[in-house]
């Protein structure tokens, strides 16, 4: 059964990686019952909780999440911004490559701007969502 956006927003900020994985698995099963924006917003909430565990997703789950983000992406500013947020929290290199590979002459100006701003901010650190927390020697 599909859970509402309010459900994902109301999840505790601090969750175990196992609890987040269960929520992600459930979301992936019902993703086609949601609009792309609803799916991305729910995934963004879970990505934020995952980021706070200071651990990366397991590779098989990460690959499934990446595949679904790529297949569900739509050229809407809110969807693009959510996808970028998810990428930055989970270190999703395949999705990042997909977004950078979009034809900038075809995507909407708002999506293009969001991608270009993200590229300036995090291009060299995308694979490591915790890079900004490390101290420089």
Domain-located, residue 100:
yes
The angle at the Cα of 99, spanning 30 to 107, to the nearest 5 degrees, equals 100
Domain-located, residue 43:
yes
- pTM here is 0.91
Residue-range definition of the domain harbouring residue 63: 5-127
Domain-located, residue 60:
yes
CB of 36 within 8 A of CB of 79? yes
Is 96's pLDDT higher than 60?
Answer: yes
Q: Comparing C-alpha atoms, which of 10, 92, 93 is closest to residue 46? A: 10
Domain-located, residue 132:
no
- Choose the weakest-confidence range: 2-6, 11-15, 132-136: 132-136
What's the pLDDT tens digit per position in 110-126? 999 999 999 998 877 88
Percent of the chain with pLDDT over 70: 97
Domain-located, residue 137:
no
CB of 100 within 8 A of CB of 115? yes
Domain-located, residue 99:
yes
Domain-located, residue 133:
no
| Mean pLDDT in residue range 44-52 | 96
Q: Which residues contact 105 (CB under 8 A, 6 or more apart)?
A: none
Domain-located, residue 85:
yes
Total number of domains constituting the chain: 1
């Amino acid at each position: 059964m599909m859970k509402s956006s309010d459900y994902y927003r109301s999840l505790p900020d601090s969750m175990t990686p196992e609890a987040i994985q269960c929520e992600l698995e459930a979301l992936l099963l019902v993703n086609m019952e949601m609009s792309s924006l609803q799916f991305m917003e729910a995934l963004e909430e879970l990505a934020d909780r995952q980021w706070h565990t200071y651990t990366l997703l397991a590779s098989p789950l990460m690959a499934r999440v990446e595949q679904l983000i790529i297949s569900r992406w739509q050229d809407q500013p809110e969807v693009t911004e959510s996808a970028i947020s998810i990428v930055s929290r989970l270190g999703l290199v395949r999705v990042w490559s997909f977004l950078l590979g979009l034809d900038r002459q075809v995507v909407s100006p708002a999506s293009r701007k969001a991608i270009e701003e993200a590229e300036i901010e995090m291009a060299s650190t995308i694979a490591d969502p915790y890079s900004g927390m490390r101290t420089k020697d």
